[in-house]
């Protein structure tokens, strides 16, 4: 093992956090997983594929941490901006009606994007 490799202690977090904490939902999600032992899955996977546990943990963390960038690459900047504009416009209108209309518009856009996944024959020529 290289002495320059980072060491992380898997700490359980159960709170507390204030009711008006802007990160409260994320903290609640973190607390939800506090009693789960992720290492049992890591150990089993590492053993099954003959890879060090630390390599699996590094992979999982790196993949999760870069998921936003990966999602942008998969979706593309044009579609990402189009989807974001729907939300931005609805928030600028600042009404429940505009937000509901934005939800409907986003639902339709996502349905359109999902259509070829549900109907792969759509591109058969």
On the question of pLDDT at 125 being above 90, the answer is: no
CA separation for the pair 103, 35 (Å, rounded): 35
The residue assigned the tokens 């150990």 is 43
Contacts of 10 (CB under 8 A, 6+ apart): 38, 39
Q: What is the mean pLDDT of residues 3-17?
A: 91
Residue 99 confidence (pLDDT): 96
On the question of pLDDT at 32 being above 80, the answer is: yes
CA separation for the pair 24, 18 (Å, rounded): 7
Residue 1 confidence (pLDDT): 59
Which strand (E) or helix (H) includes residue 96? helix 96-118
**pTM, rounded to two decimals:** 0.58
| Mean pLDDT rounded to a whole number for the chain | 91
The residue assigned the tokens 């546990």 is 53
């Amino acid at each position: 093992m290289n002495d320059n490799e980072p060491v992380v202690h898997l700490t359980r977090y159960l709170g507390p956090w204030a009711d008006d904490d802007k990160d409260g939902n994320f903290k609640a999600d973190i607390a939800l997983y506090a009693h789960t032992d992720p290492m049992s899955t890591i150990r089993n996977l590492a053993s099954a594929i003959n890879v060090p546990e630390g390599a699996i943990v590094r992979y999982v963390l790196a993949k999760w941490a870069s998921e936003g960038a990966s999602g942008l690459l998969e979706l593309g900047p044009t579609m990402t901006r189009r989807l974001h504009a729907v939300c931005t416009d609805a928030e600028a209108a600042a009404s429940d009606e505009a937000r509901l209309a934005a939800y409907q518009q986003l639902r339709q856009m996502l349905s359109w994007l999902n259509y070829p996944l549900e109907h792969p024959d759509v591109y058969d020529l």
